[in-house]
C-alpha cells in the first residue's frame, strides 16, 4: 500500500506552523504504490500480476521481521505498500518515501552521498536548507535512533539502521523543518523535526523512493514527533485491494481529524513490547467463523506480555499461528459453497473456484481484547485470477511474530492513539471517504 500526497508548490505565507498548536487536525492523501498516480506504477503488469507481487512483498517482509536482530527496524524495507510525499528543509524540498507503521526513523538520501542506491528524483542537499542542523552527540536527541547511534570524529550524532533483508541506511541525525501538504490545500510545517540524512544507503530500495517515513511508536517516528500538535493520533482508511482501477485515493488523518468514534467504532489496547518497541502490538483473543469460535493458542510470543499480534499497514496478508490457521481455514472451506482450487501464485492454501464476485461467505469476526471486528468479503478473500479466489490469511509457526495485515483492515477507518495506547476500528466505505 502506498501513501503519497502531492506537493507541487508550497507558498511560505500560507504555511501553518504547528509548533504551538495542540491537537491540530489535518489530512493528507494516500495512494497505493500500484496506483496510476504512483511513480512505481508499471503499465506492463496486469491487475493479477500486481496482486501476486503484493503477496510476494508481504511474504518477504514477514521473513525479514522474523530473522532480524535489529529491534529498531526489523522490517523489509521495500515491502511497504504505501508512499508518502513530504517536504524537508527551507525552502521545502519534496521527497517521496515509504510510509510504514512498522518502522520509526524518518530518513532520506542526502548529498554528498558516498554510497547511495540509484534514485530517480533529485537528492536532498542539506547545505541548501536554511533550517538544517546536524545533531551533536551531546544532545539527548542523539538517543532517538536507538542502539544504532554513534559519534563522528567532529562529535556529530550518526545513525545506523540495518533492515531484515540486509539493506541499510547510515548518516547524520539532524533536525530540519518537515512540511506536509494537507487536502485542504494549506501546507503544515513542523520545525525542528528529527530526520536521518543518509550518506550511505544500499540494498533493495526502489529508485522511485528517497527513503522511509516511520509511523511507528519510537521517539524518532513522525507520529511521535508530531505528538504535541496532533495529540499522538493518526488514522487511515484503506480501499480493498480488489479495486482494479487503482485511480482513487484514500486519506491519512492526523490530530482531531483522526478521531474514530460513533456507530460501530470499537477499540483495543496497544501493548508495549520490550524488544519490538516500534510495533503496534495487540491481543487477538479468538477468531469466529459462524458459530465456531477458535481461541488464539497459548504461544510464547516474541512480543512478550499480553500481546500476541502486531497490526501493520505495510503487510498484505494476515498471519496466524499454524493451528489456529488450520482450524480457521478448514471452517471457511466447510462453510463456503465453492469447489477448492490451487493458488495460481502458489502462495496461499485455501483457494476456491468462482468467476463471480457475488459469492456467499460465512460471518467471520476477529475478537481483539475489548473489540469484536466483523470482517466482510473484501477483508477475507483476494482474487488471484479470473476464476480463483483465495483466503488472504497465512500460517506461521508458534515462535514467530503474527501480523494483522492490510487486506483485513480495508474498508475500516483504523485509528491509532499513542497517547492513550489504543487502536480503533470502524466499518467504512473507504472509496467514499
> What's the N-to-C CA distance of the chain in angstroms?
17
Q: Which residues contact 122 (CB under 8 A, 6 or more apart)?
A: none
Distance CA(15)–CA(9), nearest Å, equals 11
The answer to whether residue 153 is catalytic is no
Phi-psi region of 381 (alpha: psi -120 to 50; beta: other; left: phi over 0): beta
Q: Minimal CA–CA distance to 330: which of 360, 284, 289? A: 289
Distance CA(178)–CA(9), nearest Å, equals 15
Q: Minimal CA–CA distance to 413: which of 392, 399, 427? A: 427
The answer to whether residue 100 is catalytic is yes
Grid look-up 481455514 returns 329
H or E segment and range at residue 297? none
HSE-up of 162 (CA within 13 Å, CB side)?
Answer: 9
Kindly give the residue spans of alpha helices, DSSP state H, lying in 4-153: 47-67
Q: Are 379 and 408 in contact (CB under 8 A)?
A: yes
Query: Which one from 100, 165, 170, 176 is the annotated catalytic residue?
Result: 100
Grid cell locating 178: 518537515
Distance CA(51)–CA(347), nearest Å, equals 11
Query: Which one from 104, 170, 259, 312 is the annotated catalytic residue?
Result: 312
Q: Which residues are catalytic?
A: 100, 312
Amino acid at each position: 500500500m502506498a501513501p503519497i500526497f502531492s506537493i507541487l508548490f508550497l507558498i511560505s505565507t500560507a504555511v501553518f506552523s504547528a509548533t504551538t498548536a495542540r491537537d491540530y487536525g489535518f489530512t493528507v492523501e494516500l495512494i497505493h504504490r500500484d496506483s496510476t498516480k504512483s511513480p512505481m506504477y508499471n503499465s506492463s503488469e496486469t491487475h493479477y500480476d500486481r496482486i501476486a507481487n503484493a503477496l510476494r512483498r508481504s511474504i518477504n517482509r514477514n521473513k525479514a521481521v522474523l530473522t532480524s536482530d535489529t529491534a529498531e527496524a526489523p522490517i523489509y524495507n521495500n515491502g511497504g505498500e504505501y508512499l508518502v510525499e513530504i517536504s524537508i528543509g527551507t525552502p521545502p524540498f519534496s521527497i517521496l518515501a515509504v510510509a510504514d507503521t512498522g518502522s520509526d526513523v524518518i530518513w532520506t538520501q542526502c548529498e554528498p552521498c558516498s554510497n547511495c542506491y540509484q534514485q530517480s528524483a533529485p537528492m536532498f542537499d542539506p547545505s541548501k536548507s536554511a533550517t538544517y542542523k546536524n545533531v551533536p552527540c551531546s544532545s539527548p536527541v542523539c538517543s532517538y535512533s536507538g542502539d544504532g547511534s554513534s559519534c563522528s570524529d567532529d562529535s556529530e550524532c550518526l545513525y545506523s539502521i540495518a533492515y531484515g533483508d540486509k539493506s541499510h541506511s547510515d548518516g547524520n541525525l539532524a533536525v530540519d523543518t518537515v512540511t506536509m501538504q494537507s487536502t485542504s490545500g494549506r501546507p503544515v510545517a513542523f520545525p525542528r523535526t528529527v530526520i536521518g540524512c543518509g550518506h550511505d544507503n544500499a540494498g533493495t530500495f526502489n529508485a522511485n523512493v528517497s527513503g522511509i517515513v516511520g509511523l511507528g511508536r519510537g521517539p524518532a517516528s513522525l507520529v511521535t514527533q508530531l505528538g504535541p500538535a496532533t495529540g499522538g493520533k493518526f488514522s487511515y482508511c484503506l480501499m480493498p485491494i480488489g479495486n482494479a482501477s487503482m485511480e482513487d485515493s484514500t486519506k491519512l488523518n492526523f490530530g482531531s481529524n483522526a478521531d474514530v468514534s460513533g456507530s460501530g467504532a470499537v477499540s483495543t489496547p496497544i501493548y508495549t513490547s520490550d524488544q519490538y518497541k516500534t510495533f503496534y502490538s495487540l491481543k487477538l483473543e479468538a477468531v469466529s467463523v459462524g458459530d465456531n469460535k477458535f481461541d488464539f493458542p497459548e504461544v510464547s510470543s516474541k512480543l512478550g506480555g499480553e500481546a500476541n499480534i502486531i497490526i501493520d499497514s505495510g503487510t498484505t496478508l494476515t498471519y496466524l499461528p499454524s493451528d489456529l490457521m488450520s482450524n480457521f481455514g478448514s471452517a471457511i472451506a466447510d462453510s463456503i459453497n465453492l469447489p477448492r482450487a490451487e493458488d495460481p501464485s502458489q502462495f496461499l492454501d485455501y483457494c476456491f473456484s468462482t468467476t463471480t464476485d457475488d459469492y456467499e461467505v460465512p460471518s467471520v469476526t476477529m475478537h481483539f481484547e475489548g473489540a469484536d471486528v466483523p470482517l466482510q468479503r473484501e477483508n477475507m478473500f483476494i482474487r488471484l485470477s479470473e476464476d480463483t479466489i483465495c483466503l488472504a490469511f497465512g500460517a506461521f509457526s508458534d515462535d514467530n511474530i503474527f501480523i494483522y495485515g492490510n487486506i483485513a483492515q480495508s474498508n475500516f477507518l483504523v485509528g491509532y492513539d499513542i497517547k492513550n495506547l489504543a487502536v480503533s476500528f470502524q466499518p467504512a466505505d473507504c472509496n467514499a471517504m
